[in-house]
Chains A and B, each alone.
Chain A
């Protein structure tokens, strides 16, 4: 078995650019996904029991539930293709885009099209999973905590902010870290729509030379190092927020 590392050298800039692209896509999607997840998780837990907002609110909740079900129930790969080749052309198109059209649409699509679609798909997907993590985290806090807070005269906002969320966050950290690692790895699927990230670099080399060991070992090592660093960061956070008796 001969390893021809020289073929990787020829494509080194593609791998370096790919690395930064993967990093960017993953970090941005994790941040947006967490925001979506937080909002959605809270929304799905809240309820309006009386008044004129009761039914509109329940409708919004229903839509949120459908969103979570859809993004958890379909493959990410399919979601990426759906968003890039079906949804995006409707929204951004030089002739008749619903959101943006004309010359600007063309420029956006050409320079950032795959980037935007990739981030949208990954964020929406992560948001669905993260909302469940938030929901589970919040629900895991004993009702007594809420009752105690109300007996102190705290309202919903104060209770959430100072009593429930801090405790829930501690429990949510491990699954959140897990989701971040999953998302980093799944970002490789975005190469299907032509975004030049790490997996794309490996695909290109494999395609040009019909060699598989060198490019795929290379990116495996890079992905592995990235997830290790991420795991380490999450581990530190966990330590920082650990309950007193676990310290």
Chain B
């Protein structure tokens, strides 16, 4: 034991000092990136159809992508989309790896502490999916004693944590909403709570899944926003202007129509 301790002590010291160095050097990067630029890197989660997904040609497509492209065209900026995992999404902004994030991001007070949001561009709410055979679930509260699947780090995860407690083992978190729904299909969970449009999209693409969806008026309405680095007011102003423009000239309504029909 003693031998092991003495052998690894230098390693431990090295690790701790590396962490300390890493922690100190982080703050200096932010102002340097503020130089004039016209190409903005946009982070998108690429498994969130119909908002953003990758097609056969490895291009990201979807509602969010079209909205972002329309805004870019209006404001004369160039955008480049990079698929980014939703976990740790906001860190990509903070570290300067991405300039913008769009991916059905719900505007929440917690997230506002780390990033700045544009004006809302989409209204959504959570939706409960249960197997067709389940007839007992009529509202959110009925999920209390059931196993619930969610996509980790999403608002679905958050509302379920609020319902059953954040350390409750009956929450099962998955990397993406489709994986959680797949688990529901195979019987691993009793219900899934996720953004309505994504659940509906899954059902459209998997007619054999035979889910029943339950909406609860108690779910707060959520608004999606485009996120920029905290304090990046110049870019935020451009985005908001573009958003207002495409709403005014009807191109936003067209995109909406394309993805959601006349339902919304």
State the A residues within 8 Å of B (CB).
1, 10-11, 13-14, 17, 85, 88-89, 93-94, 105-106, 109-110, 113-114, 192-194, 196, 200, 203-204, 206-210, 212-213, 217, 228, 231-232, 235
Contacts and interface: CB of A to CB of B under 8 A. Distances in A.
Q: Which of B110, B179, B190 has its CB near the most chain A CB atoms (within 10 A)? A: B179
Contacts of A196: 169, 172
Given A17-B169, A231-B4, 12 more contacts: A11-B166, A13-B167, A89-B186, A93-B186, A109-B188, A110-B188, A113-B183, A194-B149, A207-B87, A207-B173, A208-B166, A210-B114
A105 B179 CA distance: 19
A210 B90 contact: yes
27 contacts: A1-B23, A1-B26, A17-B169, A85-B182, A85-B183, A85-B186, A89-B186, A93-B186, A106-B187, A192-B175, A194-B173, A194-B188, A196-B172, A200-B173, A203-B153, A203-B173, A206-B87, A206-B88, A207-B152, A207-B153, A207-B154, A208-B161, A210-B91, A210-B114, A212-B91, A213-B23, A235-B4
Nearest to B131: A94
B188 A113 contact: yes
Interface of B: 1, 4, 8, 19, 23-24, 26, 87-91, 110-111, 114, 147, 149, 152-154, 157-158, 161, 166-167, 169, 172-175, 179, 182-183, 185-190
A114 B188 contact: yes
Contacts of A110: 147, 187-190
Q: Which of B88, B174, B188, B189 has its CB near the most chain A CB atoms (within 10 A)? A: B188
A216 to B, nearest CB: 10
Contacts of B90: 210
B114 to A, nearest CB: 5
Contacts of B185: 89
Contact of B186 (A88, A192, A204, A209): A88
A192 B179 CA distance: 10
A127 to B, nearest CB: 25
Nearest to B113: A210
A208 B169 contact: no
Contact of A210 (B1, B23, B111, B152): B111
Contact of A232 (B4, B26, B190): B4
Nearest to B172: A194
Nearest to A17: B169
A157 B26 CA distance: 63
A17 B167 CA distance: 9
Which 9 residue pairs spanning A and B have beta carbons closest together? A207-B153, A89-B186, A1-B23, A194-B172, A13-B167, A113-B188, A210-B90, A109-B188, A207-B152
A189 B125 CA distance: 31
A14 B26 CA distance: 30
A170 B4 CA distance: 21
Contacts of B110: 209
B102 to A, nearest CB: 17
B172 A212 contact: no
A196 B168 CA distance: 10
B146 to A, nearest CB: 9
Given A113-B188, A206-B87, A194 B166 contact: no
Nearest to B90: A210
Nearest to A105: B187
Given A210-B111, A210-B114, A203 B152 contact: yes
A110 to B, nearest CB: 5
Nearest to A12: B167
Contacts of A212: 88, 91
A189 to B, nearest CB: 11
A143 to B, nearest CB: 38
Contacts of B149: 194
Contacts of B166: 10-11, 14, 204, 208
Nearest to A85: B182
Contacts of A11: 166-167
Given A89-B186, A114-B188, A208 B167 contact: no
Contacts of A89: 185-187
B87 A94 contact: no
B185 to A, nearest CB: 8
A139 to B, nearest CB: 32
Contacts of A231: 4
